[in-house]
Amino acid sequence: MNELSEELLHSVIKKRPELSHKGTFGRVVLIGGNERYGGAIIMSAEAAVNSGAGLITVVTAEKNHAPLHARLPEVMVIDWLQIQDIQAVLAEADVILIGPGLGLSEHSHTLLQLVIQEQQAKHWLVIDGSGITLFAKYHYQLAYPQQAVFTPHQMEWQRLSGLTIPNQTVKNNQTAQKTLDSHLVLKSHRTTIYTFNDYFVNPLGNPGMATGGMGDTLAGMITGFLAQFDAKKDALCAAVYLHSLIGDVLGQDHYVVLPTEISKQIPYYMKRFEQ
Amino acid sequence: MNELSEELLHSVIKKRPELSHKGTFGRVVLIGGNERYGGAIIMSAEAAVNSGAGLITVVTAEKNHAPLHARLPEVMVIDWLQIQDIQAVLAEADVILIGPGLGLSEHSHTLLQLVIQEQQAKHWLVIDGSGITLFAKYHYQLAYPQQAVFTPHQMEWQRLSGLTIPNQTVKNNQTAQKTLDSHLVLKSHRTTIYTFNDYFVNPLGNPGMATGGMGDTLAGMITGFLAQFDAKKDALCAAVYLHSLIGDVLGQDHYVVLPTEISKQIPYYMKRFEQ
Amino acid sequence: MNELSEELLHSVIKKRPELSHKGTFGRVVLIGGNERYGGAIIMSAEAAVNSGAGLITVVTAEKNHAPLHARLPEVMVIDWLQIQDIQAVLAEADVILIGPGLGLSEHSHTLLQLVIQEQQAKHWLVIDGSGITLFAKYHYQLAYPQQAVFTPHQMEWQRLSGLTIPNQTVKNNQTAQKTLDSHLVLKSHRTTIYTFNDYFVNPLGNPGMATGGMGDTLAGMITGFLAQFDAKKDALCAAVYLHSLIGDVLGQDHYVVLPTEISKQIPYYMKRFEQ
Amino acid sequence: MNELSEELLHSVIKKRPELSHKGTFGRVVLIGGNERYGGAIIMSAEAAVNSGAGLITVVTAEKNHAPLHARLPEVMVIDWLQIQDIQAVLAEADVILIGPGLGLSEHSHTLLQLVIQEQQAKHWLVIDGSGITLFAKYHYQLAYPQQAVFTPHQMEWQRLSGLTIPNQTVKNNQTAQKTLDSHLVLKSHRTTIYTFNDYFVNPLGNPGMATGGMGDTLAGMITGFLAQFDAKKDALCAAVYLHSLIGDVLGQDHYVVLPTEISKQIPYYMKRFEQ
């Protein structure tokens, strides 16, 4: 076991190379946001943009395009019904996030299937929220499981691993993660990251962060970090740690910490820890 | 008679338990916002989110979804025509607010009927604005009246109680509240809260707060406080007091105090009074 | 001739009475914003809300409702095609603004006609932008011309008065204003207000304010001031002066002064001059 | 070769004349933003407004109107399918920007054709993004090429000039620019401006600016500067330099610099350098 710490931020967040362009910092596709949970994918997108991902396309129900662009013109959008366009954009992606506000409909399922089927050796996947529930329900297998991150809360992890919450001990989680053969971010009041050789406990976070959208923001940050930084396991850990670190700072003078407030702070904190 | 005071804030606003998740801080449904008054339910939602309610679903006319999400991706939305979805979300709720911008149409009436019919022992209801007018018109009875809060202004209270404004004396209001058998927040330049054993006068508030949307914001705060804090009567009183306290601070350098400005300040003030 | 000065702000901006409610501060209807110029009526609405008008309804093309509410949930909206609803809301109004972004279509004309036809003794009208152009074209007569304010720029004044810009001398303007029998705010780099007995020159304003939307914001401020303050001529002058005063302060460190930035400052400046 | 420097900002950014109106500061038309890349034209518009262009019309897919107005009511909008309206507004324009988020569809092509065909002696054109790709593909000729600015990144320049990226030497670029007979802003980590007699290297900029939308913002600034300042070549250079200067200041405490954050700062920086 390791406890995450600030050192990790220093080692992960590299000074950007002078000779670079937006493609250098990753092409990202974010998939989610149905008619009801559109806010979720908006919050993921805000986190990914503020984390520094270079080029971001959001695939979401058409009704979410206007509020997304009203908040964040920095992203591109695709109606989630346009399967061909989605395939084209997936083919060029570095990291794909699926799940925030995705829902459990037939169409949500179609999109998850598409992502799984299109995964290439170069792709990293982040599977969150209802993406995890669907993944569990249909017993999917990934082509490149080691290039995937699952970000369940405890109930979603129960669905995916079969472990009831009281049985989610470190030992059992490690066994289940080995079977899954992917990275695991198990969210709770002390989020734990299970990787192939070790597990990492996040010492930060506070109950003011227990509010709708906090996980969507974390998923967006993880996606942004994976898009930019080569040491993927460390990038993952750094995103989790920084998310809570910002939450703790905001929590000092906010009774509730809004996820969108965390996103606004990301560029400042990343600069502070830039190596 | 008691006068509300800051002590109440200290006693109500508990430090959040470490072992908690967003469900710990309440599931809330906010119903309102027709084609014309969509801003009202948006303002209620902003107040509820900033007050710290854990999970919030807004049931409103579809045209209001985009502006709501443009301001507040933290909430979920349901088209107010989807009765089955609304029933499902009501069944899981802790607190239900109905009324801000609801209007007086046939469909507004249908929604109020639905809420009344679905009230369970675990539910708290907040009935505001046109919800009160409709309630009065159709002489409804609640299954659990003591778990309801009515938040009329004086004209709405006249409709509900039959008391003309000059007759709205403390004594008459107390009698009418006993008949109603619910909590009453009677809004005026000195808002008074009538509960089962006592009544409480709010000493704060200022005429800069007399602007459209102030009541919608208060209703959202009350809903957020009821969702999180166990001592319901005190939570109600604390929401009323804090709403005015923030309004008074803003009123020191604003000629008019916008309701949305109050909502932005809630997390800071709650932290300040956190016990 | 008088030059406007800060004293006017002190005399106009009264401390609000303790015993008041939102109706005390006026019911306002703002009409404008077609498919192309929707931003204009949004800017007027922001100015009116921030000036402290109590209850504001915006009548505009349906496509403008979402962006308006995304910025300003404090207002109510009516689709500008709903003539009956508009009539109902006009009947209850204290001040009506027509013109910002109204356009020159058949329907724009219908709306202007409606406002003119519905003017009652209690109504104040503010006629701005394309409302003036249409008024001039169709040679309208108001029932209560002395309770109207026209806010043309020089070209619009030419259309309304028949005076070409070089002929818009004080003397000629006074004669034309007497014929018009209404208040006149003639906008230029030194805006001049012609009332029944006198005219007032605004010494403030700067070329950084010469940008799209500045007039829409002024029209909204005038409307908000007329809604709240009894001395109508003074209220009109105070709105013009304060608009420029804020613009001049912002202009000290902004090369261009955005109209929406002026609106945000109004509550602070009104408080500062509150008597 | 010259290196751009702050002196240029002082010489270009003139104090605005007292006797002026919004028309004095230019009529601008911005064309772009399809169903997928609507954010691009929104970011161009924000840059143009904050740069001080007097009157701005945005021609974009109808779905982009609401998010644009939610962020920026200061602009006018035209549905990009309304060819007649577009022709009318082009006829009155001083500067036309085409390209940000334009896409490569049949209709994108139609709009580019329209702009080329309508160019008059008084018009300045800025051709950006997919506008350049289309221009290259169809081998267009401008009627007034010397009143055009192309703003390609290196891949777009390859399409336009036929020079592969390794062959994009100063000498080759100069030759190709002479053939093109227009101004060239060749974007890279050290953006270079090729004019008829010289070329100018931008010494500023940082890799935190390598994020989606940065070029759209630059195109909007260039358009705004051309609209206001008479020395067109200098205005072009000043816009490029100021864009990077603001980006560098923001980059001191932001790991990633969002394009929309740059736009917000423009009015302050222009004021600082105002002559």
Q: What is the pLDDT of residues B86-126, one digit of tens each?
A: 999 999 999 999 999 999 999 999 999 999 999 999 999 99
CB atoms C18 and B210 under 8 Å: no
Amino acid code (one letter) for C251: G
CB atoms B67 and D67 under 8 Å: no
Taking CA atoms, what residue in B is nearest to D71? B70
CB-nearest partner of D67 from A20, A50, A66: A66
What is the least distance, in Å, from the CA of A126 to any CA of chain D?
A: 21
Residue reference for tokens 């940082």 = D206
Residue reference for tokens 């000493």 = B203
User: Can you read off the two tokens belonging to residue B115?
Assistant: 């809420």
Q: What is the pLDDT of residues A149-181, one digit of tens each?
A: 999 999 999 999 999 999 999 999 999 999 999
Q: What is the pLDDT of residues A64-106, one digit of tens each?
A: 999 999 999 999 999 999 999 999 999 999 999 999 999 999 9
Percent of chain B whose predicted confidence (pLDDT) is above 90: 96
- Across all residues in chain D, what is the average pLDDT? 97
Which positions of D make up the binding site for AMP? Answer: 187-191, 215
Nearest-angstrom CA–CA distance, D258 and A46 = 11
CB-nearest partner of C212 from D13, D22, D267: D22
Sign, CA torsion D212/D214/D220/D223: negative
CB atoms D74 and C39 under 8 Å: yes
Q: At C97, phi and psi to the nearest 5? A: -105, 130
Q: Where does the pLDDT of residue C189 fall: very low under 50, low under 70, confident under 90, or very high at 90 and above?
A: confident
pLDDT of residue A64: 98
CB-nearest partner of C210 from D54, D66, D266: D54
CB atoms A21 and D153 under 8 Å: yes
Q: Where does the pLDDT of residue B154 fall: very low under 50, low under 70, confident under 90, or very high at 90 and above?
A: very high
Q: What residues in B contact A47, CB-CB < 8 Å?
A: none
pLDDT of residue A189: 84
Say if D198 is an interface residue toward chain C (CB within 8 Å): no
Say if B66 is an interface residue toward chain A (CB within 8 Å): yes
How many C/D residue pairs have CB atoms within 8 Å? 109
Burial class (CB in 10 A: 0-12, 13-18, 19+), D199: middle
B27-31 and B2-3: which strand pairing? unpaired
Which residues, 6 or more positions from D269, have their beta carbon under 8 angstroms from its beta carbon? D242, D245, D246
Say if D62 is an interface residue toward chain B (CB within 8 Å): no
What is the least distance, in Å, from the CA of A118 to any CA of chain B?
A: 29
pLDDT of residue C1: 79
* Strand partners for C192: C186, C201
Say if C190 is an interface residue toward chain D (CB within 8 Å): no
Q: What residues in A contact B64, CB-CB < 8 Å?
A: none
Q: At A31, phi and psi to the nearest 5? A: -120, 125
CB atoms A73 and D35 under 8 Å: no
Interface of A with D in 72-91 (CB under 8 A): 72-79, 85
Q: What number is the average pLDDT over the span D114-120?
A: 97
pLDDT of residue B275: 84
Percent of chain D whose predicted confidence (pLDDT) is above 90: 96
Taking CA atoms, what residue in C is nearest to B41? C73
Cα dist. A245→A47, A206, A260, D10 in Å?
A: 14, 9, 15, 43
Which of A15, A21, A55 to mutate: most D Cβ within 10 Å? A21
Cα dist. C245→C9, C209, C218, C241, C261 in Å?
A: 11, 11, 12, 6, 13
Element (H, E) at C98: strand C95-98
CB-nearest partner of B212 from C51, C55, C266: C55
Nearest-angstrom CA–CA distance, D222 and D227 = 9
Q: What is the pLDDT of residues D162-210, one digit of tens each?
A: 999 999 999 999 999 999 999 999 998 889 999 998 999 999 999 999 9
CB atoms D64 and A69 under 8 Å: yes
pLDDT exceeds 90 at position B1: no
Q: What residues in B contact A39, CB-CB < 8 Å?
A: 69, 72-77
Subunits next to B (3 or more Cβ pairs <8 Å) are A, C, D
pLDDT of residue C41: 98
pLDDT of residue B197: 85
pLDDT of residue D275: 85
* Count of CB atoms situated within 10 Å of the CB of B240: 26
Q: In B152-247, where do the E strands start and end? A: 183-186, 192-194, 199-201
CB atoms B79 and A35 under 8 Å: yes
Nearest-angstrom CA–CA distance, C214 and C212 = 6
pLDDT exceeds 90 at position D230: yes
pLDDT exceeds 90 at position D97: yes
pLDDT of residue C219: 98
CB-nearest partner of B212 from C54, C68, C270: C54
Contact predicate A250/A262, CB 8 Å: yes
Amino acid code (one letter) for D227: A
Say if C30 is an interface residue toward chain B (CB within 8 Å): no
Q: What number is the average pLDDT over the span A108-120?
A: 97
Contact predicate A243/A219, CB 8 Å: no
Which residues, 6 or more positions from A186, have their beta carbon under 8 angstroms from its beta carbon? A152, A153, A154, A157, A168, A173, A192, A193, A194
Q: What number is the average pLDDT over the span B214-227?
A: 98
Contact predicate C59/C86, CB 8 Å: yes
CB-nearest partner of C270 from B38, B71, B255: B255
Q: Where does the pLDDT of residue C32 fall: very low under 50, low under 70, confident under 90, or very high at 90 and above?
A: very high
Q: What number is the average pLDDT over the span B57-61?
A: 98
Q: What number is the average pLDDT over the span D88-111?
A: 98
Which positions of A make up the binding site for (6S)-NADPHX? Answer: 40, 101, 153, 216
What is the least distance, in Å, from the CA of C260 to any CA of chain A?
A: 16
* Interface pTM, i.e. ipTM: 0.97
